[in-house]
Amino acid sequence: MDVAGSDAARIDAKRPAPQFCYSGDVRIAVYCQGQPSKPNIVLVHGYPDNNSVWDLLVDYLVDDFYIIRYDVRGAGLSSAPSSRSGYSLALLQADLAAVTAQFCSRPQFHLVGHDWGSVQSWESVCSPNSQHNILSYTSISGPCLDHVGYWFRQCWGESGSTKLVIHQIFRSWYIWFFHIPLLAPMLWRVALGRNWRRLMRFVEGVNIDEHALVTSAQRKRDGVNGIELYRANCLPRFRAPQLRSSVVPVQLIIPAKDRFLGANLYDGLSQWAPNLCTRHVEGGHWLPLSRPKELARLVADFITDGAFHTDSAIART
């Protein structure tokens, strides 16, 4: 997808100035757009992105909703924790609570997460203390780590399903790679940071103007910091998953061409999230960049039509 220079300039002009709040000792950069009188949507980005990954999507939603998005800890203009433990899911959940408490104009909000933004948002969606504040949750390419842990166990013990686990382990090669000391940060500093746009074009087929993506220096910093998300959370949750369920209406969006997460990974999700609506869409992992208009329609329809009461609705766009 190509974004013309005029479109990029228009998005640049609309991008709000950051505001800040604190979650513990971490300063979080927050960006608000739209009319506060309208329903609130909170957007949580993934790795190795920052809030700018939502620019194109926000452009389609901002007339009808009040949009709150933020740079997760260690990314964008947010500060980084001083240790790996500072990237725990519990603290990421606390970040969302801090942002929504200060910047949401209503006590309840709709939540949308992509990639690691979705992974960490499950922590709030499944928390008895916070899920009552969440009117709906749209999860894009980011499963709950506890659900994945149980999925591994279930498939490994079933005849004919072991190969699904092995296949997913190979698809998620980056998780294991990120646990290699020194190598992954060095690769970000030497090559990935400066070549990320080329990789996105080659791997995802996404080709957008540089105004809609962050600078290579920022990408390098975000990529290095975000490695700790995987190191702090993945293996502990895979080894000892917790029972995590939610009554929040959930829209699960599964890209048909996601290179990193297989659709089988979400099998059985309805046992944890009974108010589940599943959407299969064409496109790769980075739907906010490759198909923002279609994604915005799914988010808006889910919120306005109450489609979350459908157990398994399939939409191909």
pLDDT the model gives residue 232:
97
pLDDT tens by residue, 59-118: 999 999 999 999 999 999 999 999 999 999 999 999 999 999 999 999 999 999 999 999
Is residue 161 in a domain? yes
Q: Is residue 160 part of a domain?
A: yes
User: What residues have CB less than 8 Å from 254, skipping those under 6 apart?
Assistant: 141, 263, 266, 278, 279, 280, 281
Is residue 112 within 8 A of residue 42, CB to CB? The reply is yes
Which structural domain range is residue 287 located in?
Answer: 5-309
Give me the pLDDT at residue 315, please: 39
Confirm whether 225 is domain-assigned.
yes
Q: How far apart are CA 169 and CA 163, in angstroms?
A: 10
Q: How confident is the model at residue 208 (pLDDT cuts 50, 70, 90)?
A: low
Domain for residue 23, yes or no?
yes
Task: Choose among 124, 61, 142, 53: nearest CA to 304.
Answer: 61
What's residue 159's pLDDT? 57
Query: Is residue 133 situated within a structural domain?
Result: yes
Give a yes or no: residue 266 inside a domain.
Answer: yes
How much of the chain exceeds pLDDT 90, in percent? 70
Note whether residue 317 is domain-resident: no
Instruction: Quickly state the pLDDT bin for 312 (edges 50, 70, 90).
Output: very low
Q: What is the pLDDT averaged over residues 136-143?
A: 97
User: What's the whole-number average pLDDT of the chain?
Assistant: 88
Q: What is the mean pLDDT of residues 142-153?
A: 93
Statement: residue 160 has pLDDT above 70: no
CATH number for the domain that contains residue 79: 3.40.50.1820
pTM of the model: 0.91
Domain count along the chain = 1
Give the position of tokens 């970000």. Answer: 188
Is residue 316 in some structural domain? no
